[in-house]
Amino acid sequence: MLRIFIACILALGAGLCAGDTARAGAWTRSEGDGVVILSLGRQAAPFTALAGALPTQDKYVGQIYVEYGVIEAVTVGASLFADTEFTHDGTGDGSTAAASLFVRTRVYSDDDGYVGAVQLGGAFPLEDKLGDDFSGARHSAPEVRFSVLGGTSWWGDWGSAFASGALGYAWVGRDDPSEIRMELTTGYEPRHCCLAILSLFYAEPLSAAPGESRADGRSLTIAPSFAYRLLPQIARNGKKPEGPLNPATIQIGINYDLLNGGDGIGLQIAIWKKF
């Protein structure tokens, strides 16, 4: 149960700061076990824009993410992502939309809580299929992604914790440079209902985009968040509800690119539900 909870939270926590896709940890889901995650957020610059000040840049994002355990050690997933960006003068830089798919296969696990996996996936732009509202200066690009993932979890009387990392390559189409991407996520669950998470995401372009340097394309995003599981109430007679318990979980987080602070700070809320 702990590893299932960790896998769901990793997918969600990464999705809060990963842009057009929710990236999951090294854990795979049990056969026939799935989760759906809905996240909504806003990214604004300067920081005070989130408190009502006039923004110089404003972006709203939304994503639906699903993953499912097909067979033991193999999990598949898909997501739909869209955002709308506005500049300080009120003109829109357009909206983007993309779909992504992946398959994750566990290649190692042991009794000490260590797990390893590989993941292959891709992203597909949808702007051309959604009409004029999704045309503008910005655009998403097709991607093919491959990652090697590893993680570990441990627990005791003090609660439970986990750490997960990934190293991957993303081929990016159009004029955008391909990238090396790295991720690190840690979490601590002092009680069964609550989980604190800290994620770091780094992207290193392998070439410079037109009109930019390689340094302009680098990003190092920090994303702290907090998740709360909505456990069912116990009846007054002390009996637990009958049937399987699949409580929803709510997560609230922020993300900030340490190398591109001018892009502002992001705030997102997400809810996920197992099925």
pLDDT at 109: 93
pLDDT at 244: 58
Tens of pLDDT along 65-83? 999 999 999 999 999 999 8
pLDDT at 155: 87
Q: What is the pTM of this model?
A: 0.84
- Which residue in the block uniquely carries the two structure tokens 């566990």? 106
pLDDT at 217: 87
Alpha helices in 80-228 (DSSP H): 214-217
- Contact present, 92 and 98 (Cβ < 8 Å): no
Q: Side chain identity at 269, as an amino acid letter?
A: I
Q: Which residues are 67's β-sheet partners?
A: 35, 77
Residues in Cβ contact with 15 at an 8 Å cutoff, skipping those fewer than 6 apart: 21, 22, 23, 37, 39, 63, 65, 79, 270
pLDDT at 113: 85
Residues in Cβ contact with 75 at an 8 Å cutoff, skipping those fewer than 6 apart: 24, 28, 29, 67, 68, 69, 103, 104, 105
pLDDT at 237: 56
Please report, in tens digits, the pLDDT of each residue of the chain (275 residues total): 444 344 444 444 444 434 433 335 789 999 999 999 999 999 988 777 777 777 777 889 999 999 999 999 999 999 999 988 876 665 556 788 999 999 999 999 998 889 999 999 999 998 877 766 666 556 788 999 999 999 999 988 889 999 999 999 999 988 889 999 999 999 999 988 899 999 999 999 999 887 788 888 899 999 999 999 887 666 555 565 565 567 899 999 999 999 988 888 999 999 989 88
From CA 28, how far away is CA 258, in angstroms rounded? 31
Residues in Cβ contact with 200 at an 8 Å cutoff, skipping those fewer than 6 apart: 183, 184, 185, 220, 221, 222, 223
pLDDT at 240: 59
